């Protein structure tokens, strides 16, 4: 499915106040999604998907920008439109995840229970990433 076919999902709300609320929410969710690219326990894709939903109800310009962004547009479009991730995206995500988790375990927390919880979360996220369809 191309972005043009996907843009048929855009249904701009006719109420200007609601449109502004969706636009503000989309910007906020995009910001949290960007943070999630660097913080290992904060998911990225779910926030980008929610941002796209908000943009689809507020601004076609922002909706298309999210899909075409040079930094994360391909990653987001692959996941939302093609329903998968490239092998390079998976490797990058797993490296960032495990580096962040290991830094947290070694330098941030001394509680063994927190360390175990971080390892369990990292294992779960790793399993989820590996379970996503790999795009060629």
What whole-number distance in Å separates Cα of residue 22 and Cα of residue 118? 33
Report CA-CA distances (Å) from 92 to 24, 75, 87, 98, 124. 29, 11, 9, 10, 16
- Residue appearing with tokens 């490797």: 91
State residue 22's pLDDT score.
94
What whole-number distance in Å separates Cα of residue 103 and Cα of residue 105? 5
Residues (pLDDT < 70) of the chain are: 1-8, 40-41, 82
Asked if residues 108 and 79 have their Cβ atoms less than 8 Å apart, the reply is: no
State residue 1's pLDDT score.
41
State residue 4's pLDDT score.
47
State residue 68's pLDDT score.
87
What whole-number distance in Å separates Cα of residue 39 and Cα of residue 131? 21
Asked if residues 12 and 59 have their Cβ atoms less than 8 Å apart, the reply is: yes
State residue 21's pLDDT score.
94
State residue 2's pLDDT score.
45
Asked if residues 68 and 76 have their Cβ atoms less than 8 Å apart, the reply is: no
DSSP 49-68: HHHHHHHHTT-HHHHHHHHH
State residue 58's pLDDT score.
94
State residue 3's pLDDT score.
45
Global pTM? Answer: 0.62
């Amino acid at each position: 499915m191309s972005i043009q076919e996907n843009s048929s999902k855009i249904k701009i709300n006719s109420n200007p106040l609601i449109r502004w609320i969706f636009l503000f929410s989309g910007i906020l969710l995009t910001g949290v999604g960007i943070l999630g690219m660097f913080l290992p326990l904060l998911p990225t894709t779910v926030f980008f998907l929610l941002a796209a939903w908000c943009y689809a109800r507020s601004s076609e310009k922002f909706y298309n920008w999210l899909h075409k962004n040079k930094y994360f547009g391909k990653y987001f479009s692959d996941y939302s439109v093609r329903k998968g991730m490239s092998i390079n995206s998976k490797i990058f995500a797993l490296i960032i995840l495990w580096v962040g988790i290991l830094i947290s375990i070694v330098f941030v927390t001394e509680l063994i229970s927190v360390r175990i919880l971080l390892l369990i979360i990292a294992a779960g996220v790793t399993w989820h990433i590996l379970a996503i369809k790999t795009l060629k």
